[in-house]
Amino acid sequence: MSLLDATVAGLVAGAVMSLWKMGEAAITGRGLWRPPNLIASIVLGERADTGSFLTSGLITGMLLHALASAAMGWLYGLLIAPHTDHWPPLAQIPLILGYALLNWAIYQYLIMPWLAPVMNRTSRPVSLAVAHLIWGAAFAGWYLTMASG
């Protein structure tokens, strides 16, 4: 598999994760648009913290999330895939899910507190961990399907 394949799988997984978080936010009354707005608060600050539609929040948040998801995929392709691509696909799934949870823990506890204080103040760690597992499942599905095709 190539770095491009892993990067594309990261983008696909990021889109699935975004849909999950936006749906969860809508169902729980936090607002459909709140997840991208909270990500956008990295750039836009406090004014992005709304559950209402905010064009700049949607565009900025989705772009930042796509970049982060692509980077996660790329890093997997660079650091892990060369050592595991010869493994059977089912053996790779737990590793990918673990990688997704490791990324969550690093973001939740090391990066988000200083990079995204608005998100850090309002996010629920368990919800974000589940969303990263969704990312991992989507990444595994896309990446391993491309590997076998």
With tokens 């595994």, the residue in question is 140
Q: What is the pLDDT of residue 146?
A: 85
Q: What predicted TM-score, i.e. pTM, was given to this entire model?
A: 0.94
Q: What is the pLDDT of residue 149?
A: 63
Closest CA to 58 of 77, 34, 79, 29: 34
Q: What is the pLDDT of residue 91?
A: 95
Q: What is the pLDDT of residue 15?
A: 98
Q: What is the pLDDT of residue 51?
A: 76
Number of separate domains in the chain: 1
Q: What is the pLDDT of residue 6?
A: 96
With tokens 């691509």, the residue in question is 85
Q: Which residue range forms the structural domain that includes residue 29?
A: 3-148
pLDDT along the chain (149 residues), means of 10: 92 98 96 96 92 91 98 97 92 97 98 96 96 98 85
